[in-house]
Chains A and B, each alone.
Chain A
């Protein structure tokens, strides 16, 4: 399966977009770590869906426009993205920060959306179970803390970043801080109205997630009672990488 990388102008933002596959549109929203490549889970999903994986404003090779201040801006940007590409029946899949964005989009305007998948999603605060302070992690700590299987972390640590990738990493951290420094990776208002999301919803979470621990998955399930909740054992913060098969299963279960 081949994929393309192109640059689209959406809301005045030159936006990097990877796309591959055919079928119903599946919009994958990446996390704070960015959108470095067309990854194996995208390739697998592309067998059943038209997978669209943009880099958010401020991230990757996308511009950081003047209006890029907060999560609200990114949510509206994606509504415009969906309209500009004239997508309908979109299966929205968000990882971590991308999950938070997905919830915000779905809350604002579900007209062109079909389903919602929240994978280890940011967006809410669970009192008494604080999330990790990712902004104090060193690069090595971050890599180790993302995965349950430390051999995945070791493999990643063994490959030094290219200068270009290093530059993008700095840019991505800047953009993440812009969106998520305080309130830390959540919108305190989301809990008040999230019940208005009635889309079929899948919540998928790694049981050993060290960024948003398991209680966050259950908190989301409480807020979205229609959702199916799948907690994957022996899995950290990135189920799409660490448990690709189970992750794809979960997405396909809802986004058939």
Chain B
């Protein structure tokens, strides 16, 4: 098993009572509520936390992209990935992930990732995402074009990385006479591409394809959903005629470890509940603008009329669903081992700071996880790596 320390970098000092008067902490929350003096300290604290994870032996450290929200302060995650690349030498630097449809020129993503790959000496892992629904309201990009823009941008980026330039790209959304990226990527044939997802049959079908075999990381979902979708990926691989390795599977979730279950629950409660109820909260119209999901998917979602971002979360519900793992090192260890036995996944992407969790508790969490959970789980889910997919366009 490999361990990644993932950060969302939320604006912890948010005046939650004031924020709750607005429609959401996304898109329309007035940016006057952001204090640069507090924010400046936060960025450095959060980078310290990721560097600590590297020091303590995590296999990778992860940043993430979100726009116009108190939920996450990294509209440009590659900037922070660059800062981390110079301060670390062991951990993989994971950007989880750049939102491909939200840019007008995907070559900027190809270029930035190539720079980071060179700067880090080949340690970068490149996440590709569609962006969350709210970001289509924020950016003005048409959500009905989300899937098609994602796919064309992906194809263009892979081509930019692997096909000798200059060449022309004549697509529907992107059309350019010269694709000729300097620098070229360090890792060959290109850096690993990871696909974070909340679970989607179409995404699995695409990611598991033999041409791609992209590691698939389920995020912020109840554990049984995670198991279901990871199994679906495995089944899809079989349908394609190969067996997926555990390296192609991942789970990203908040984790909180303390001395006992009771202490962990008490310490985590206000902060994890704030994350779901105050930071992530948004109306369905913001989360799912028309066309973000297919018409069929939308029908299904509306039938159920609930989801992680629209229902009010309690710690009890979180524990019941294992959306986050909160407890003593023993408890957390056992749960991970239990789920890994069900579907062996190699990549555990731990979010050890969440919502309003303060610096001292975050540090304690990271240290306890590294000392009392990680070493016991390293041996899980190792199988011989399959031949990497030769992805060249």
Alpha-carbon separation in the docked complex, A181 to B145 (Å): 10
Establish whether residues A136 and B142, one from each chain, have CB atoms under 8 Å apart when the complex forms.
no
State whether B298 touches A170 (Cβ < 8 A): yes
Q: Which residues of A contact B136 (CB under 8 A)?
A: 181
Interface residues of B in 118-149 (CB under 8 A from A): 136-137, 140-144
Decide if A166 is an interface residue (CB 8 Å cutoff). yes
Q: Besides A178-B142, A178-B144, 14 other CB < 8 A contacts?
A: A135-B285, A135-B289, A136-B283, A137-B285, A167-B295, A170-B290, A170-B298, A174-B295, A174-B298, A176-B290, A177-B289, A181-B140, A181-B143, A182-B142
Give the docked Cα–Cα distance between A182 and B136 (Å): 10
Contact with B along A134-163 (1 / 0, CB 8 A): 011110000000000000000000000000
Jot down 22 A-B pairs with beta carbons below 8 A, ordered by A. A135-B137, A135-B285, A135-B289, A136-B137, A136-B283, A136-B285, A166-B299, A167-B295, A167-B299, A170-B299, A171-B295, A173-B290, A177-B142, A177-B144, A177-B289, A177-B290, A177-B291, A178-B291, A181-B142, A181-B289, A182-B140, A182-B141
Task: Select from chain A the residue with minimum beta-carbon distance to B286.
Answer: A136
Tell me the A117-137 residues at the B interface (CB within 8 Å).
135-137
Tell me which residues from 170 to 191 in chain A have a Cβ below 8 Å from any Cβ of chain B: 170-171, 173-174, 176-178, 181-182
CB distance from B132 to the nearest CB of A (A): 15
* B56 beta carbon closer than 8 Å to chain A: no
- B129-172 at interface with A (beta carbon < 8 Å): 136-137, 140-144
Chain B interface bracket (under 10, 10 to 19, 20 to 34, 35 or more): 10 to 19
- Chain B residues lying within 8 Å of A174, measured Cβ to Cβ, are 144, 290-291, 295, 298
Asked if A170 and B285 sit within 8 Å, CB to CB, the answer is no
CB-based contact A138/B283 at 8 Å: yes
List, in ascending order, chain B residues with CB within 8 A of A176's CB: 290
Query: For A170, what are the chain B residues with a Cβ–Cβ distance below 8 Å?
Result: 290, 295, 298-299, 302
Q: What are the 10 tightest A-B residue pairs by CB atom distance, in nearest-first order?
A: A177-B290, A173-B290, A182-B140, A181-B142, A178-B144, A174-B290, A177-B144, A174-B291, A177-B291, A170-B298
Q: Report the Cα distance A124→B140, complex, angstroms.
A: 17
Q: Chain B residues with Cβ under 8 A from A167's Cβ?
A: 295, 299
| A136 proximity list for chain B (CB < 8 A) | 23, 137, 283, 285-286
Number of interface residues of A (CB under 8 A): 15
Listed in ascending order, the chain B residues whose CB lies under 8 Å from chain A are 23, 136-137, 140-144, 283-286, 289-291, 295, 298-299, 302
Chain A contacts for B286, CB-based, 8 A: 136
Identify which of B136, B140, B143, B285 gathers the most chain A CB atoms within 10 Å of its CB: B285
B136, B144, B298, B299 interface centre (most CB from chain A within 10 Å): B144
CB contacts (< 8 Å) of B283 on chain A: these are 136, 138
Assess the B285–A138 pair: CB atoms within 8 A. yes
Q: Which residues from B are CB-within-8-Å of A178?
A: 142, 144, 291
Within the complex, the shortest CB–CB distance from A178 to chain B, in Å, comes to: 5
Q: Which residues of B contact A173 (CB under 8 A)?
A: 290
Measured CB to CB, the nearest residue on chain B to A183 is: B140
A138 and B144 CA atoms in complex are apart in Å by 19
A166–B302 touching, CB < 8 Å: yes
Q: State in angstroms the CA–CA spacing of A136 and B285 once bound together.
A: 5
Closest to A134 in B: B285
Instruction: Please name the residue on chain B nearest to A133 by beta carbon.
Output: B137
Residues in A whose Cβ lies below 8 Å from that of B285: 135-138
Distance of A167 Cα from B285 Cα, bound (Å): 16
Do the beta carbons of A135 and B140 come within 8 Å of each other?
A: no
A171 contacts across to B, CB distance below 8 A: 295
A133 to B301, CA, bound (A): 23
The docked-state distance in angstroms from the alpha carbon of A174 to that of B23 is: 22
Complex CA–CA separation, A137 to B284 (angstroms): 10
CA A173 to CA B141, docked complex, whole Å: 16
Q: Give Cα A173–Cα B286 distance, bound, in whole angstroms.
A: 14
Q: Name the distance in Å between A256's Cβ and chain B's nearest Cβ.
A: 39
Q: How far does the alpha carbon of A176 sit from the alpha carbon of B298 in the complex, in Å?
A: 15
How far is it, in angstroms, between the C-alpha of A176 and the C-alpha of B295 when the chains are bound?
13
Determine how close the nearest CB of chain B comes to the CB of A33; give it in whole angstroms: 13
Query: B103 to nearest A CB, angstroms?
Result: 14
For residue B298, which residue of chain A has the nearest CB?
A170
Alpha-carbon distance between A177 and B144 when the two chains are bound, in angstroms: 7
- Once the chains are docked, how many angstroms separate the CA of A173 from the CA of B288? 11
